[in-house]
């Protein structure tokens, strides 16, 4: 009798173990399926801003270009970023200076457009965190004569001054579109609203221009910009 009970006990343990293993494998497979549905890393797009080199040449700047890219994470969410170099001369009413540096923006885009079968276009909103490191060289500036009612301006008696190791940090909201004009080739346009968070500036001179952010004023820490891009998509999975 005892032997039968022992045998039944061993058999029941074996059956329970098999059932538990089967259930675990089933749950594991379900989890893998869910993860596969959640992550859709199908492509990576790389390209550059078309307008910046053209505007840079027409305005007499030495250098101004930007490379862009995004990586699809889910059906509608993309990890996105931009990197650029700027060597720009800024002419203001009372001061002319040269700003040289680089910038990086990184964040996410969310596609709000529902594509038809075979289409791959997007209308998206995005968020970026931007940072820039640069230097500013004052070329010439005007000094007003306080003793004169009609201001006498002096412009040629001051040496060139250069400030290095400057920086700026900001956040951007953007609205944009990307259209697939040819297979895997996209044209894009985005409009951007910037908010300066912080900047490192010289003791006796304010930052009037930050690469990647654009113009800065003491009264207003908001800015705006846009870009017009050409990108190429590198498929990571075959498109259905």
Looking at the whole model, is its pTM more than 0.85? no
pLDDT in tens, 151-181: 555 545 566 678 889 999 999 999 999 999 9
Q: 70-76, long-range: CB within 8 Å, 24+ apart, which pairs?
A: 70/44, 70/45, 70/109, 70/231, 71/41, 71/43, 71/44, 71/45, 72/40, 72/41, 72/42, 72/43, 72/44, 73/39, 73/40, 73/41, 74/38, 74/39, 74/40, 75/40, 76/110, 76/111, 76/112
In the chain, the N- to C-terminal Cα span, in Å, equals 64
Note the pLDDT of residue 122: 95
Q: In the chain, pLDDT over 90 holds for what percent of residues?
A: 45
Task: Provide the CA 104 distance to its chain's centre, in angstroms.
Answer: 7
Note the pLDDT of residue 205: 73
pLDDT grade for 213, boundaries at 50, 70 and 90: very high
d(CA 29, CA 37): 12
Note the pLDDT of residue 13: 45
Q: Residues 181-190, buried b or exposed e (16+ Cβ, 10 A)?
A: eeeeebbbeb
Note the pLDDT of residue 239: 57
Q: Which residue has the higher pLDDT, 148 or 219?
A: 219
pLDDT grade for 89, boundaries at 50, 70 and 90: confident
Nearest to 51 by CA among 62, 66, 29, 36: 66
Nearest to 175 by CA among 130, 128, 210, 213: 128
- Segment 198-209 shows an average pLDDT of 82
Note the pLDDT of residue 95: 76
Three-state SS for the chain is CHHHHHHHHHHHHHHHHHHHHHHHHHHHHHHHHHHHHHCCCCEEEEEEECHHHHHHHHCCCCEEEEEEEEEECCCCEEEEEEEEEEEEEEECCCEEEEEEEEEEEEEEEEECCCCCCCCCCEEEEEEEEEEEEEEEEEEEECEECCCCCCCCEECCCCCCEEEEEEEEEEEEEEEEEEEEEECCEEEEEEEEEEEEEEEECCCCCCCCEECCCEECCCCCCEEEEEEEEEEEEEECCCCC
Mean pLDDT of the chain: 80
- Counting every residue written for the chain, the total comes to 240
pLDDT grade for 28, boundaries at 50, 70 and 90: very low
pLDDT grade for 132, boundaries at 50, 70 and 90: very high
**The pLDDT of residue 17 is above 50:** no
- Segment 47-72 shows an average pLDDT of 87
d(CA 35, CA 26): 14
């Amino acid at each position: 009798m005892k032997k039968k009970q022992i045998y039944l006990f061993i058999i029941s343990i074996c059956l329970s173990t098999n059932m538990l293993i089967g259930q675990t494998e089933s749950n594991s497979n379900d989890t893998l399926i869910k993860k596969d549905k959640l992550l859709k890393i199908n492509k990576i797009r790389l390209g550059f801003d078309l307008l910046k080199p053209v505007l840079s040449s027409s305005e007499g700047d030495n250098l101004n270009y930007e490379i862009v890219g995004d990586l699809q994470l889910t059906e509608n969410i993309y990890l996105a970023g931009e990197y650029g170099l700027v060597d720009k001369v800024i002419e203001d009413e009372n001061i002319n200076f040269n700003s040289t540096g680089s910038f990086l923006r990184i964040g996410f885009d969310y596609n709000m457009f529902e594509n038809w079968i075979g289409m791959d276009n997007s209308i998206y909103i995005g968020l970026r965190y931007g940072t820039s490191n640069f230097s500013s060289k004052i070329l010439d500036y005007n000094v007003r004569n306080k003793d004169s009612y009609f201001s006498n301006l002096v412009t040629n008696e001051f040496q060139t001054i250069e400030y290095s190791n400057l920086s700026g940090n900001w956040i951007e909201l953007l609205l944009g579109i990307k259209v697939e004009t040819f297979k895997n080739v996209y044209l894009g346009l985005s409009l951007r609203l910037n908010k300066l968070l912080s900047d490192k500036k010289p003791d006796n001179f304010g930052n009037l221009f930050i690469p990647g952010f654009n113009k800065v004023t003491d009264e207003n820490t908001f800015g705006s910009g846009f870009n017009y891009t050409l990108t190429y998509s590198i498929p990571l999975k075959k498109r259905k």
